[in-house]
Homo-oligomer: A and B are copies of this chain.
Amino acid sequence: MTGGGNIFGEVFRVATWGESHGTAVGVVVDGCPAGIHLTREHIQKELDRRKPGASDITSARRESDEVEILSGVFRGRTLGTPISMMVRNRDVDSTPYEKFREIPRPGQADLTYEMKYGIRDYRGGGRASGRETVARVAAGAIAKRILSVHSIEILGHVIEIGGIHARELSFDEIRKNAERNAVRCADLEAAAEMESRIKEVKAAGDSVGGIVEVIALNVPPGLGEPVFDKLDADIAKAMMSIGAVKAVEIGAGFKSVRMLGSEMNDEFFITEGKVRTKTNNAGGILGGISTGEPIICRIAVKPTPSISKQQRSINMRSMEEVNIKIDGRHDPCICPRIVPVAEAMLAIVITDHLLRSKISRL
């Protein structure tokens, strides 16, 4: 959407706001249908999954991230009017950022914000901070409520970190095990290795990336609009709009490049009166429209740019080259905390298309 690009979705519309070290972060959800059962706890539960300080492999910033619902809900039901939610920023220490006022951190948005706007809130990364995703997760929690009415389930988990891969997992295993460990990997052996790897890298003052997979189960066939607003196109945008994400794939993704058509095509068959496909290389989407098979999306998450190793940068005012070291409190690997964010974005996209699908036939 136009404006400054802070609104997402066409029918289920999410408008986020807030800087990392400003007063608060929040979101307005416009277009939520009336009559949905919704409480503060539904939102808080998801925010708690995202918040920092949950383990020693995440940022030490201490935020209780308590959400306040300010409008749109009346006696536990949505009104059909905008739902405004807010989380105050509490544990704000801007001192370590003073030195980055004029020195952009490599891999961060400092330089580009400055070039775009000529002004920026340099404290804690300002609007470009991962803290903005609080708002996404809150909105996603509402989307998940709507999806649950339609028995649609969203799963998220980490499948690779720092070169360590999870083995192939069933949806049941993911559902059962992903939330049981700090890295959110449902292969518990791999999870332990990933955790060691992250600590090792952190000790070296460095950071590491990984792959997150998000899945939507029980999506009805027929969601998604052909041509530009394909379901996979909107998912791709949603995922790539998350900071640190550098790639998105659906179904077989890059693997499809090395397959023959006869291998890639998912053949149809009939079971229990329904058309299904034998394989799901399509990742649940054909021609931009859901098939009814599970929707599978993987995203590449780059290593966190905030590292304590010395790096080369420049001073934007004096236009001299300088060395910098970033202290602050940072996640050596952001993958585990991106899981609820990616789930939220997937939930928002599917909700948006679920609502849009009501108008494609009379």
Contacts and interface: CB of A to CB of B under 8 A. Distances in A.
Contact of A264 (B80, B243, B303): B303
A16 interface: yes
A3 B126 CA distance: 28
A24 interface: yes
A35 B4 contact: no
Given A81-B126, A115-B222, A267-B312, A10 B15 contact: no
Contact of A250 (B235, B247, B250, B260): B247
A72 B82 CA distance: 20
A26 B69 CA distance: 12
Interface stretch (A48-56, A57-65, A187-195, A251-259): A251-259
Contacts of A251: 246
Given A17-B84, A34-B118, A311-B267, A11 B247 contact: no
Interface string A1-21: 111111111111101111100
Nearest to A221: B115
Interface in A198-235: 201, 206-211, 221-230, 232-235
A257 to B, nearest CB: 5
Range of interface residues on chain A? 35 or more
Contacts of A127: 79, 81, 226-227
A122 B267 CA distance: 19
Nearest to A82: B17
Contact of A80 (B35, B278, B303, B360): B360
Given A72-B17, A116-B80, A247-B249, A206 B359 contact: no
B311 A257 contact: no
A309 B81 CA distance: 31
A90 to B, nearest CB: 14
A42 interface: no
B269 A302 contact: no
A339 interface: no
B361 A35 contact: yes
A74 interface: yes
A68 interface: yes
Contacts of A68: 23
Contacts of A79: 19, 117, 119-121, 126-127
A156 to B, nearest CB: 16
8 contacts: A1-B10, A2-B31, A74-B126, A79-B117, A81-B121, A149-B362, A247-B256, A261-B309
List the 3 closest A-B pairs by CB distance, nearest first.
A109-B287, A5-B225, A5-B229
